[in-house]
Structure 1
Amino acid sequence: MRRAAIAGTGGIASAHAEALRAAGDRVELVAVADVDAGRAGTFAGEQGVARSYSSVGDMLASEELDVVHVCTPPRHHVPLALECLAANVHVLVEKPPALSLGEVDALIAAERVSEASVATVFQHRFGPAAVRLRRLAAEGVFGRSFVAKCDTLWYRGDSYFEMPWRGTWRSEGGGPTMGHGIHQFDLLLSVLGPWQEIRAVAARQARDVETEDVSMALVTFADGTVASVVNSLLSPRETSELRFDFEHATVEVEHLYGYTDAHWSVTPAPGREDVALRWRDEPSSGLVSGHRWQVAAFLDALDNGEKPPVTLEDTRTTMEFIAALYASAFTGTVVKAGQIGPDSPFYATMEGIGAPWANSR
């Protein structure tokens, strides 16, 4: 049985604990850590965990662990992941995994000299319908990909940003592009493959924060697909939507924070009703996409001696997309894949040269 621990016992930690329980006798949650010792103890009691710690260092020194789930505020993700890698303990880190593309590269370098690996929590990749979509697309069932859209239209009022680490470049690394829409457009990228160039805008419309509260991008993919991506925290009717217009069918999903098969639809092109039938003939599941599916895939990879998904190389593609979006929005230029290197101001921080509204707060 694998031995797991959770670092950071805020809200998302409960989803990780639940996913570990769902894995049954494959893994046991044996310890938790939080800088707030009282909160760590309370969470441990609620989850039936024997031991809690006030630092990850103490936990690593005291426990024999296979994996640490990093669930802290974003600015702590990389330091804790590096600490775990140095101890040869695998890491499953919440989004965003890092605050910059440079930090991702630092993790990749540390992983190369460790016996352990880092995987990023992008749980929407692992829902049964998304797995089916990627497989059928790869088999050519849908034909060529032409057009796509990805909307994360959520609402976060002023009270949401009362927590001091929210809405800042130093603590969150960005606004809804980094912390909210990332799940949806990561799923988009996992289906469509390499992106080629991006044209974007970002704005601070209503919230008194350092970062954007809305961004929009037009993206061209290597296979020629063109897509729009919208990330918003200003949308009272909240929704998460993806649409893929293939040669033989349109595939769509609309949900909020997690989908079942029932949230997906396939509309065939005239004369291609066989495509919709193929989709419907696949086994269906009423289970909601979420952490349990990724934890199961993570454990499968460890059992098979493989790097757990989503690898740092996969993660880098998504994080490079974010860096390019900010670079395009803040410079008013088209940014191509591979353009954000160590010499770019957007490599070390997503803020880059500074947001246009930086001096107007």
Structure 2
Amino acid sequence: MLRVGIIGTGGISAAHINGYLEFGDRCEIVGLCDIVPAKAEARKEEFGLTGARVYDDAGAMLAAEDLDLVSIATPPNTHAPLAIQALQAGVNALVEKPMAPSLEECDAMLAAAEASGKLLSVVAQNRFRDDMATLKEALESGLLGTLSHAQINSVWSRSLPYYDLWWRGTWASEGGGCTLNHAIHHLDLTLWLLGRPNAVTAVLSNAQHDNAEVEDLSVAILAYDRALAEVTSSVVHHGEDQQSIIIQGQHARVAQPWHAAADAHRPNGFPSGPNTDLVEKLDALAEAHEPLPHTRHAGQIGDVLAALAEGREPAITAADGRNSIELVTAIYESGIERRTVDLPIPPEDPYYCSGTLVERAPHFYEKSASVSDLDGEITVGATQS
């Protein structure tokens, strides 16, 4: 039975706790840590974690409990120090997205994992979704041919009070805006589905949140060897059902929510109508998808637990988490400096380092409110995207 600790008991911690509870035969939550102990006590009562002890300091929990694994579900600027602290204490770590605000911090986390020999994984729960797995299977089938173009819409709806929470809305504490903290899901999926691009060109804006320094909208163009991808990151869109991924290939188009289309062509190159045979093959592939036994956070937590039991790497590694941060960094560097950024980003690039965004990023507005907590449930995306 693996002993688990949770560091940070804010909104997203519920997804971690529920995930571990799905595997009650394999693990037990024995510690809850939060700088506001009352929040941890409330989570303990909410989920009936009678055997868990509450701490207000991560170091104290790591010292007192014989932990096998911690989930780190705290604000982004704390991820690196907390993960490194856990790894150096000999405890495996699952870190909530984003991995960290800078590549420098990501590499320090990777070095700590290497030195400790412990597992480090970064949350990318959308890979554990049946619709995304189906899209991946379609791409790997070869039925699309070579890739041409992709449109990724990571669009969310957040009103002004969202950025009143004390750690949101500043480059220093949140690490960025919607690109880092919302679109990180779709950027990870973009890398998983399409691979790393060669270059990025982007623009940033704050269209509707005059109480936040950070961007609430960005649009990026990712350049591959021949294909292009457009990524829109937003917290100003009404209707999160607009979240989508559309991939155009040589022979066909597939999209999430699932839709397949293909054209047949005349000798002169013009379309002659649908290629029904190819569409039927793609739809049959989608229908044949075997549902995942566990999805989202529970799916990833189950994989991490299995990886520890089997002595293997998890499906989503720390390197995957770093790759997403590299793409976010390229979007920010391109948008701030108004130029195309080539990948990979080397250590000598100023944007590799922690602190560069704080120094160079525009303050679209100054943060005008700072509350310790926000009442109400959080949502983590539309059900179909």
Same-fold call, TM cutoff 0.5:
yes
Q: Deviation string for 1:106-146 (max 9, x for gaps)?
A: 11111110121211111001213323432442342332211
Distance (whole Å) between structure 1 residues aligned to residue 341 and residue 167 of structure 2: 29
| Superposed counterparts of 1:36-185, under 5 Å | 36-49=36-49, 50=51, 51-185=53-187
Alignment check: 8 A CA contact 1:175 1:211 kept: yes
Aligned twin of 2:381 = none
**Does 2:247 correspond to 1:244?**
yes
Residues 143 and 352 of structure 1, relative CA distance in 2, 3 Å threshold: farther
Alignment check: 8 A CA contact 2:217 2:233 kept: yes
Aligned twin of 1:260 = none
Distance (whole Å) between structure 1 residues aligned to residue 345 and residue 261 of structure 2: 37
Residues 277 and 39 of structure 1, relative CA distance in 2, 3 Å threshold: closer
Distance (whole Å) between structure 2 residues aligned to residue 225 and residue 144 of structure 1: 9
Distance (whole Å) between structure 1 residues aligned to residue 31 and residue 188 of structure 2: 30
Q: What SS is found at the alignment partner of 2:199?
A: strand
Distance (whole Å) between structure 1 residues aligned to residue 358 and residue 221 of structure 2: 20
Structure of higher CA gyration radius: 2
The more displaced of 233-242 and 189-198 is 233-242
Distance (whole Å) between structure 1 residues aligned to residue 283 and residue 235 of structure 2: 37
Alignment check: 8 A CA contact 1:146 1:245 kept: yes
Aligned twin of 1:23 = 23
Alignment check: 8 A CA contact 1:142 1:275 kept: no
Aligned twin of 1:10 = 10
Q: What SS is found at the alignment partner of 1:15?
A: helix
TM-score scaled to structure 1, two decimals?
0.91
Letter aligned with residue 218 of structure 1: I
Q: What SS is found at the alignment partner of 2:360?
A: coil
**Does 2:218 correspond to 1:215?**
yes
Gaps of 5+ in 2: 264-274, 368-385
Alignment check: 8 A CA contact 1:120 1:309 kept: no
Q: Deviation string for 1:65-122 (max 9, x for gaps)?
A: 1110111111211111011100111111111110111110111111110121211111
The more displaced of 21-30 and 108-117 is 21-30
TM-score scaled to structure 2, two decimals?
0.85
Q: Deviation string for 1:193-232 (max 9, x for gaps)?
A: 121101100012221211111100011124x221100111
Alignment check: 8 A CA contact 2:138 2:282 kept: no
**Does 2:344 correspond to 1:338?**
yes
Q: Percent identity?
A: 33
CA deviation after TM superposition for structure 1 residue 151, in Å? 0.8
Aligned twin of 1:266 = 260
Q: Deviation string for 1:329-350 (max 9, x for gaps)?
A: 1111110102342342453246
Q: What SS is found at the alignment partner of 1:252?
A: strand
CA deviation after TM superposition for structure 1 residue 302, in Å? 1.6
Alignment check: 8 A CA contact 2:72 2:96 kept: yes
Alignment check: 8 A CA contact 1:323 1:347 kept: no
Distance (whole Å) between structure 2 residues aligned to residue 324 and residue 173 of structure 1: 14
Distance (whole Å) between structure 2 residues aligned to residue 345 and residue 152 of structure 1: 23
Q: Deviation string for 1:297-318 (max 9, x for gaps)?
A: 2122222211223212112211
Alignment check: 8 A CA contact 1:99 1:349 kept: no
Distance (whole Å) between structure 1 residues aligned to residue 309 and residue 134 of structure 2: 23
Alignment check: 8 A CA contact 1:345 1:353 kept: no
Distance (whole Å) between structure 1 residues aligned to residue 238 and residue 111 of structure 2: 42
Aligned twin of 1:256 = none
Alignment check: 8 A CA contact 2:213 2:365 kept: no
Task: Give the root-mean-square deviation of aligned CA atoms.
Answer: 2.1
Structure scoring higher RCO (CA < 8 A, sep ≥ 6) equals: 2
Letter aligned with residue 193 of structure 2: V
Alignment check: 8 A CA contact 1:268 1:275 kept: no
Letter aligned with residue 304 of structure 2: F
Letter aligned with residue 279 of structure 1: L
Aligned twin of 2:375 = none
Gaps of 5+ in 1: 254-262
Distance (whole Å) between structure 2 residues aligned to residue 352 and residue 42 of structure 1: 34
Number of residues of Structure 1 aligned to a counterpart in Structure 2: 351
The structure in which a higher percent of residues are strand is 1
Letter aligned with residue 15 of structure 1: A
Aligned twin of 1:193 = 195
Letter aligned with residue 3 of structure 1: R
